[in-house]
């Protein structure tokens, strides 16, 4: 009988080596009962999906006994109070390095003042002490690796290189290489930790408490304890604990933690607010509409925490590359050490030294650490701007997007409809047209229905629910209902054609709701919608980012769609579409893409979810978007500005550029110094600077992705 799979996350402690992380990941994925294991080295998190969690954890202890795994709480987004670990180890390492450095300087002075005479027992003891203080943990890891039958990682390379240097009496080089290697590791760890702290800063918006309103007064509880419908009081300066609706009070709220927008938002009764936003000026009474685990803040924390678990192809390639690269380097070094002396009469000591230089230069740290860190930084940078990218793999896809297809209503336009005009014909008055339309739309939740009802009620109109029977919604067409013994139809042009109802012209620049009573045309209602602020600029920025084709899909009429497309300068648009038509048209657009080119779709509604799922990268407008669209999407924009789509593409391209800069930097510098080392033009000093210098340059370059 097949066991059920469990998904858990663990905080990783005592893991300071990217290659070791790759080994653990590889070993876990070979274990029976493990469906998937992914280590996010930048976030120090193990994502484990297995039927036997205990067996998987035992395998981790077997591979790396020093590593500790602590369960992470899903309620807190995975960030535990003790996450910032290793400070004590860092201080201890610094102390050891300082002592080793003092001994190293003493040894150098002794060596040169003695004019290179053989060292005495005391000097040799100083050399060994400095070497062990600087490299004890490197040697320890190397021995563990060898005992497990795995002879190839950077620790083994360092042990062979420095041990060989000691054997040929290159004491200064042996100690110096180990000291500078450890300094490089510490600096590398500091850079990675800095990036992790930046990501934790994104999650610091999580509210700690909620002030629950009860018959006996206010009571402070955890946000997880708040139920739907509970009343919450939020004072100025406090974080909103759960998603909800403002019932009483007016205030400015800071939304920057969720949306990246610096301008405060004014809220008053009836406005929806989200967990993590900060109340600034006035007390608010809020009715909870979602549990905390379903809130926007909880989703953001989960998305940011889990994003790097979905690795990009480049990350996977480098992991595999490093697995084969290191054994190749060891064989190449052995060839350099043995072949010239055996076949060309060279000095063993000279060629062994060159081989040791080759080993030091060839460590793959720069690639293995900096590339995941680059993606990690890109995801963090996007999150700061209110753009949630659900995986490193989607950064690569976004960077390759050449065609962007937008939904219209709620995506490019505000989706806030206002009745602009009412036209009546065939003996009906404007008031009658509005009454019949309001009655037919009374039980509909479509935005157009809401605008008609609001306009009717503002003029004093009232509809009795008892007068309405037989209401039916026709998706993508309109509604029908029976009202006061009349059969009412309200819908678009296609719906009237389908019902064979003769009516007026079809060419309107706005959304139009046609009204028919008892099969006879009564008139139409013109409903206006406006472009979102920044929509025009978004199209310009997208084109500057390399987007070659921008299109729009909408269920609105041809003329209204054409007016929007003209204002935005779109390359194409498709109107009068049913939800199933959107998928068909989208597939047609996608079939014209070239090799390696990707297509994105941006939408916000439930009817957009199927198209979002079909896109190479589906993008949902998060603040107004439906849950279905957000769950299906690969990227979620926390504000409803189309400019965020342009920013998402820019962040992806910037991140991708940094990743390839690191790859090029590592290969070029290492290639040059490997050639120099083999020809005897580089000593072990140059080797360690080439190795750790390249790693540090790549790591610090990766942090640029976080800064933008």
Q: What DSSP element (H or E) covers 58?
A: helix 53-63
What pLDDT score was predicted for residue 79?
40
State the pLDDT at residue 230. Answer: 92
Q: What is the pTM of this model?
A: 0.70
* Mean pLDDT for the stretch of residues 359-364: 74
d(CA 494, CA 477): 7
Grade residue 617 by pLDDT with cuts at 50, 70 and 90: very high
Q: For residue 610, what are its two tokens?
A: 């199927």
Under the banding of pLDDT at 50, 70 and 90, the label for residue 257 is low
pLDDT tens per residue, range 325-336: 777 877 888 888
What is the dotted CATH code of the domain comprising 6-76? Answer: 3.30.70.100
Chain segment 52-94, per-residue pLDDT in tens: 888 888 888 888 777 888 887 544 444 444 444 455 566 677 7
Lowest mean pLDDT segment, chosen from 37-41, 227-231, 604-608? 604-608
For the domain bounded by 400-413+531-653, which CATH number is listed? 3.40.50.1000
CA atoms within 13 A on the CB side of 547: 29
Percent of the chain with pLDDT over 70: 82
Average pLDDT over residues 309-319: 69
**Residue intervals in the chain for CATH 3.40.50.1000:** 400-413+531-653
Task: Band the pLDDT of 372: cuts 50, 70, 90.
Answer: confident
pLDDT, the chain, mean = 80
Looking at the chain, which residues constitute the CATH 3.30.70.100 domain(s)?
A: 6-76
Question: Is a pLDDT exceeding 60 seen at residue 226?
Answer: yes
Task: Give span(s): CATH 3.40.1110.10, the chain.
Answer: 418-528
> Is residue 331 exposed (0-12), middle (13-18) or buried (19+ Cβ within 10 Å)?
exposed
- Residue 259: which pLDDT band, with cuts at 50, 70 and 90? low
pLDDT of 292 strictly over 50 = yes
Q: What DSSP element (H or E) covers 39?
A: strand 34-40
Pairwise pLDDT comparison (14 vs 196), residue with the higher score: 14
Phi, psi of 181 (to 5 degrees): -65, -45
Span of 199-208, 242-251, 425-434 with lowest mean pLDDT: 199-208
Contacts of 350 (CB under 8 A, 6+ apart): 680
Is the pLDDT at 111 greater than 60, yes or no?
yes
Q: What would the pLDDT profile of 182-192 be if each residue is shown by its tens digit? A: 776 776 666 66
pLDDT in tens, 486-545: 889 988 877 888 888 887 665 566 678 889 988 888 888 888 778 888 899 999 999 999
Report which of residues 695 and 398 the model is more confident about: 398
Residue 635 has pLDDT above 80, yes or no: yes
The average pLDDT across 630-655 equals 87
Over residues 133-175, the pLDDT tens digits come to: 888 888 887 887 777 766 666 777 778 878 887 887 777 777 8
Catalytic residue (one of 40, 407, 529, 556): 407
Query: Is 407 known to be catalytic?
Result: yes
Separation of alpha carbons 333 and 335, rounded Å: 5
Contact between 557 and 575 (Cβ < 8 Å):
yes
**Does domain 210-290 fall into CATH 2.70.150.10?**
yes
Sheet holding 34-40, edge to edge: 34-40, 45-50, 6-13, 68-71
**What pLDDT sits at residue 77?**
41
Q: What is the CATH number of domain 418-528?
A: 3.40.1110.10
| Per-residue pLDDT, 299 | 67
Band (pLDDT 50/70/90 cuts) for residue 401 is very high
Q: % helix / strand / coil in the chain, to the nearest 5?
A: 50, 20, 30
* E strands, 274-363, in order: 278-279, 284-288
pLDDT of residue 382: 85
Residues 451-484 have pLDDT tens digits of: 888 888 888 888 888 888 888 887 767 888 888 8
Residues of the chain with CATH 2.70.150.10: 210-290
Beta-strand ranges (E) seen in 484-558 are 486-491, 511-517, 520-528, 549-553
Question: Collapsing DSSP states into helix, strand and coil, what is residue 199?
Answer: helix
The answer on pLDDT for 301 being more than 90 is no
Give all strands of the β-sheet with 486-491 in edge-to-edge order.
418-424, 520-528, 511-517, 486-491, 478-483, 468-474
List Cβ neighbours of 538 (8 Å cut-off, separation of 6 or more): 641, 642, 643, 645, 646
pLDDT of residue 203: 52
What is the C-alpha to C-alpha distance for residues 280 and 236, in angstroms, rounded to an integer?
Answer: 5
Tokens of 110: 């002794």
Question: Following DSSP, what letter does each residue of 210-272 receive, concatenated?
Answer: EEEEETTEEEEE-GGGPPTT-EEEE-TTPBP-S-EEEEE--EEEE-HHHH---S-EEE-TT-E
Q: Which residues contact 122 (CB under 8 A, 6 or more apart)?
A: none
């Amino acid at each position: 009988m097949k066991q059920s799979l469990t998904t858990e996350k663990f905080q990783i402690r005592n893991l300071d080596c990217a290659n070791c992380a790759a080994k653990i990941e590889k070993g876990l994925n070979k274990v029976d009962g493990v469906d998937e294991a992914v280590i996010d080295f930048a976030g120090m998190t193990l994502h484990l999906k297995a039927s036997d969690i205990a067996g998987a954890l035992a395998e981790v202890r077997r591979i790396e006994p020093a590593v500790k795994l602590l369960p992470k709480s899903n309620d807190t987004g995975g960030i535990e109070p003790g996450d910032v670990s290793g400070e004590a180890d860092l201080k201890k390492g610094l102390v050891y390095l300082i002592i080793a450095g003092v001994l190293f300087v003493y040894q150098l002075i002794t060596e040169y003042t003695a004019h290179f005479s053989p060292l005495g027992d005391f000097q040799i003891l100083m050399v060994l002490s400095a070497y062990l203080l600087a490299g004890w943990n490197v040697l320890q890891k190397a021995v563990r690796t060898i005992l497990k039958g795995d002879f190839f990682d950077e620790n083994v390379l360092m042990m062979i290189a420095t041990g060989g240097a000691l054997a040929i009496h290159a004491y200064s080089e042996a100690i110096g290489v180990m000291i500078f290697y450890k300094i490089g590791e510490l600096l590398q760890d500091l850079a990675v930790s800095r990036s992790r702290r930046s990501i934790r800063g994104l999650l610091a918006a999580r509210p700690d408490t909620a002030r629950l309103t009860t018959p006996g007064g206010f009571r402070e509880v955890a946000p997880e304890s708040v139920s739907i419908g509970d009343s919450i009081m939020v004072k100025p300066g406090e974080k909103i604990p759960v998603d909800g609706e403002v019932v009483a009070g007016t205030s400015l709220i800071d939304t920057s933690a969720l949306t990246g927008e610096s301008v405060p938002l004014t809220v008053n009764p009836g406005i929806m607010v989200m967990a993590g936003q900060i109340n600034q000026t006035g007390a608010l009474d809020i009715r909870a509409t979602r549990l905390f685990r379903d809130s926007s803040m909880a989703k953001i924390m989960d998305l940011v925490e889990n994003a790097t678990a979905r690795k990009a192809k480049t990350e996977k390639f480098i992991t595999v590359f490093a697995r084969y690269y290191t054994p190749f380097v060891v064989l190449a070094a052995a060839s350099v050490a043995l072949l010239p002396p055996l076949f060309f009469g060279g000095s063993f000591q000279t060629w062994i030294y060159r081989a040791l230089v080759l080993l030091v230069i060839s460590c793959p740290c720069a690639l293995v650490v900096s590339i995941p860190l680059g993606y990690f930084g890109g995801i963090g940078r996007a999150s700061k701007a209110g753009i949630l990218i659900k995986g490193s793999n989607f950064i690569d896809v976004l960077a390759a997007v050449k065609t962007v297809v937008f939904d219209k209503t709620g995506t490019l336009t505000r989706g806030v409809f206002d009745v602009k005009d009412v036209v009546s014909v065939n003996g009906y008055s404007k008031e009658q047209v509005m009454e019949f339309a309001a009655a037919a739309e009374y039980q509909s939740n479509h935005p157009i229905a809401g605008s008609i009802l609001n306009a009717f009620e503002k003029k004093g109109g009232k509809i009795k629910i008892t007068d309405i029977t037989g209401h039916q919604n026709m998706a993508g067409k309109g509604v029908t209902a029976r009202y006061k013994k009349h059969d009412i139809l309200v819908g678009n042009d296609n719906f009237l054609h389908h019902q064979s109802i003769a009516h007026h012209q079809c060419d309107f620049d706005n959304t139009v709701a046609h009204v028919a009573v008892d099969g006879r045309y009564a008139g139409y209602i013109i409903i206006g919608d406006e472009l979102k602020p920044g929509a025009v600029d978004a199209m310009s920025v997208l084109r500057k980012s390399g987007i070659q084709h921008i299109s729009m899909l909408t269920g609105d009429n041809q003329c209204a769609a054409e007016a929007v497309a003209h204002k935005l300068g779109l390359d194409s648009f498709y109107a009068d579409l049913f939800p199933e038509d959107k998928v068909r048209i989208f597939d047609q657009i996608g079939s014209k893409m070239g090799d390696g080119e990707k297509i994105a779709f941006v939408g916000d509604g439930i009817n957009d979810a199927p198209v979002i799922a079909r896109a190479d990268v589906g993008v949902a407008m998060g603040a107004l978007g439906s849950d279905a669209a957000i769950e299906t999407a690969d990227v979620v924009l926390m504000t409803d500005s189309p400019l965020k789509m342009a920013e998402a593409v820019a962040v992806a391209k910037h991140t991708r550029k940094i990743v390839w800069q690191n790859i090029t930097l590592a290969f070029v510098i290492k290639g040059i110094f490997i050639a120099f080392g083999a020809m005897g033009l580089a000593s072990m000093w140059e080797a360690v600077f080439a190795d750790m210098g390249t790693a540090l340059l790549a790591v610090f370059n990766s942090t640029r992705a976080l800064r933008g």
